[in-house]
Amino acid sequence: MTFFFNQHVFVNRENELNAFISLLNHPYRRLFLLPGKQGIGKSWAIRRLNQHCKDTKTVTALIDFNNNSGLTTPKEVIRCIRDNIGGDFDKDIRQTENQIKNDFGPNLPSTSPPADITNKEAATFYGHNSSNSLNLTGDKLKIGGDAFTGNKYEISYYPGNGNVQRQGEVNFRRNVACREALRKLLAEQRLVLFFDHFEKTTEDVANWMHDEILKLILEPSEDYSNLWVVIAGQRVPFEKEADHLRHILHLMEVGPFEKEVVHTYWKEKRKLDSAKLSPSLLWDLCRGKPQDLCLIANNYEISLGR
C-alpha cells in the first residue's frame, strides 16, 4: 500500500478501500475518522464504501452536509438517516412520544422571568423515576429554548400564554422522542452511518453527533454493538481533543502493541518523528497487518506515550 505523505493524496485507492472494507466486520473498530485537506479522496472513499455495503446487503445511511443545507438540526439529520434506511420516521416519533408523554406533569409554573430548575426539582416536577427517555442527571434543566444536548435539556417557556407554553412542552417531548427513536433504530439492526463534509455541520449538529452517536461508539454496549460510523471532512470530531483521539487509537490497537513497537514502526517504516505525528499518516498497525487502513489524518500532533 503506497501513500504520499507530502502530497496528501491516495496512490493505490483500491488497496486502501479494500483495507477499509476488511475492517467493517471487526467488532472493535467501529469508528473511522477521515480528516484531511480537500482532494485526498475522502468523499470518494465514503461513496465506494457505501456502495460496497449496499452490495453486501448491509443497511447504510449516507449524510452529506455539503449537498444538503437543510441538515441544520439533529432532528433533520435523524430524518435524513431514516429516509436513507426507509420506514416512517414520523410514525416512529409519534409512537415514542406516546410512550413518554405520561412522564410529564402539569404545565410549567408561571414564573417570570424564566429561571433555572435544579435536577432534583426537574425530576420531581416531571414525575421522573428511572425512565431513560427523561434522564435529567447532569446539567440543570434550563427554561428557555427548545433544544437539548446530551443530558442537558431545554424547553420553551412563555409566561402567561398557556397554548404556547404547552407547545413548548410538546417540542421538548418531541426532541426527546427523536433521540429515543434513533437509539431504537440503531439497536434494531446492523447499520453503517457515513457522514461526509463534517466541517459544514452546524454547531448544534456537531454537538449532537459528539454527545449521542460517538458516545455509543466510545462507550459501547451490546445494544449498539452493530453500529459503525465513518466521518470524513476537513475537520472531524475530536479535532481539539487529543486525549479522546488517543483513546480511539488505543481502541484500534487490538494487538495490543507496546509503545516501543509503535515508536519503532513510525520511525523506521514511516520515517516520522516518533513523539509527534503532524503529517498525513496511515494508522496501519491494527492486528499487526499494515494493509489494514484504520485512520487517515492530516492535522494532528499526537503523542503516543501512554
How many Cβ atoms sit within 10 Å of the Cβ of residue 290?
13
Taking the mean position of all CA atoms in its chain, how far away is CA 102?
A: 30
Q: Is 89 in contact with 78 (CB distance < 8 Å)?
A: yes
Most confident of 66-75, 112-121, 177-186, 291-300: 66-75
- Biggest CA pair distance of the chain: 71
Distance CA 16, CA 1 (A): 7
Q: Give the pLDDT of residue 196.
A: 92
Place 137 in a pLDDT band, splitting at 50, 70 and 90: very low
Measure the CA–CA gap between 293 and 306, rounded to whole angstroms.
Answer: 22
Q: How far is CA 163 from CA 116, 168, 174, in A?
A: 21, 9, 16
Domain ranges of the chain: 3-58+195-297, 90-184
* pLDDT, position 124: 30
Assign 297 to helix, strand or coil.
strand
The whole-model pTM stands at 0.55
Mean pLDDT to the nearest integer, 16-36: 65
pLDDT at residue 19, as a whole number? 60
Q: Which three cell numbers stand for residue 169?
A: 412542552
pLDDT value of position 176:
62
Order of strands, sheet of 152-155, starting from the edge strand that comes earlier in the sequence: 142-143, 152-155, 148-149
Residue percentage of the chain with pLDDT more than 90: 2
Pairing of the two strands 296-297 and 281-282: antiparallel
- Arithmetic mean of pLDDT over the chain: 55
User: How much is the pLDDT for 107?
Assistant: 40
Contacts 24+ apart (CB under 8 A), 94-99: 94/177, 95/181, 96/133, 96/177, 96/180, 96/181, 96/184, 97/173, 97/174, 97/177, 99/133, 99/180
Range of lowest pLDDT (46-55, 126-135, 174-183): 126-135
Contact 140, 118 (CB under 8 A): yes
Torsions phi, psi for 27 (to 5 deg): -65, -20
Which pLDDT score, from 0 to 100, does residue 231 have?
Answer: 84
Give the model confidence (pLDDT) of 169-203 as tens digits: 555 555 566 666 666 766 667 788 899 998 898 88
Q: Quote the CA–CA distance of 100 and 114 in Å, as a whole number.
A: 25
pLDDT in the model for residue 229: 83
- pLDDT at residue 74 in the model: 76
Residues 207-229 have a mean pLDDT of 69
Look at 229 and 283; give whichever has higher pLDDT.
Answer: 229
Cross-strand bridge partners of residue 62: 194
- The more confident residue out of 273 and 56 is 56
Higher pLDDT, 125 or 272: 272
